């Protein structure tokens, strides 16, 4: 009789675990199929390029994103608008330097979601963004699509670089920059694919 009760308990526990696995759990970010594009503007023009996701995961319950973490590989910064190789590498090197993102000291940036609000297939996310060792709260919107075994989030994040001590050419730190001023806000357009 005792053995029978133990078997029933084991079956019930297994059923609960299977049910939980179906409706909730961590989805691993598929970095190879996810994209992040950056755009920065200055008085005399703009530059744009891409940066890679290193790793991440999303907490998904009943097909809805409830939280998550994404880590960005800051050493992967690429420029895509300058066709001259020398100028291209000079810009990338400058972005990686202490004038901007100090990637040797801070090789990654991260976003940890702290609050999620959903309306239809649209989300409003709030999270803690860490760049150059400084963490600040950010909010942004994204849309979601759910497919077999995965979730895709697509949206745009606007970041004020002065919040993260990225000073070069910033009117928040320097006066009389004239046409050498670089705007503080830059954007990240992202498509994040996460799978079980």
Q: What is the 3-state secondary structure (H, E, C) of 50-119?
A: EEEEEEEEEEEECCEEEEEEEEEEEEEEEECCCCCHHHHHHHHHHHHCCCCCCCCCCCEEEEEEEEEEEE
The alpha carbon torsion through 169, 171, 174, 178 (nearest 10 deg) reads 70
Q: Say how far apart CA 109 and CA 132 lie, in whole Å.
A: 7
Residue 4 is predicted with a pLDDT of 43
- At the fourth CATH level, which superfamily is domain 24-195? Lipid/polyisoprenoid-binding, YceI-like (2.40.128.110)
The tens digit of pLDDT for each residue in 61-120 reads 888 899 999 999 999 999 999 999 999 999 999 999 999 999 999 999 999 999 999 998
Per domain, the residue ranges of the chain are 24-195
The reported pTM is 0.84
Question: CB-hemisphere CA count at 13 Å for 21?
Answer: 7
Surface-to-core class of residue 19, CB atoms within 10 Å of its CB (0-12 exposed, 13-18 middle, 19+ buried): exposed
Q: Per mean pLDDT, which range of 5-9, 23-27, 92-96, 144-148 is the poorest?
A: 5-9
Phi, psi (deg, nearest 5) at residue 175:
-100, 165
């Amino acid at each position: 009789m005792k053995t029978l009760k133990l078997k029933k308990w084991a079956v019930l526990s297994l059923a609960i675990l299977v049910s939980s696995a179906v409706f909730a759990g961590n989805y691993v970010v598929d970095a190879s199929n996810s994209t992040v594009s950056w755009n920065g503007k200055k008085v005399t023009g703009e530059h744009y390029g891409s940066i890679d996701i290193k790793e991440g995961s999303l907490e998904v319950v009943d097909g809805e994103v409830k939280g998550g973490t994404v880590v960005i590989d800051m050493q992967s910064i690429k420029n895509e608008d300058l066709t001259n190789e020398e100028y291209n590498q000079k810009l990338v090197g400058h972005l990686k330097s202490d004038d901007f993102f100090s990637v040797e000291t801070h090789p990654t940036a991260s976003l940890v979601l702290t609050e999620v609000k959903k309306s239809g297939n649209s989300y409003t996310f709030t999270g803690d963004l860490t760049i150059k060792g400084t963490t600040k709260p950010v909010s942004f919107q994204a849309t979601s699509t759910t497919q077999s075994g995965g979730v895709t989030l697509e949206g745009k994040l606007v970041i004020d670089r002065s919040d993260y001590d990225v000073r070069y050419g910033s009117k928040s730190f320097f006066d009389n920059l004239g046409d050498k001023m670089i705007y503080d806000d830059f954007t990240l357009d992202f498509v994040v694919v996460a799978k079980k």
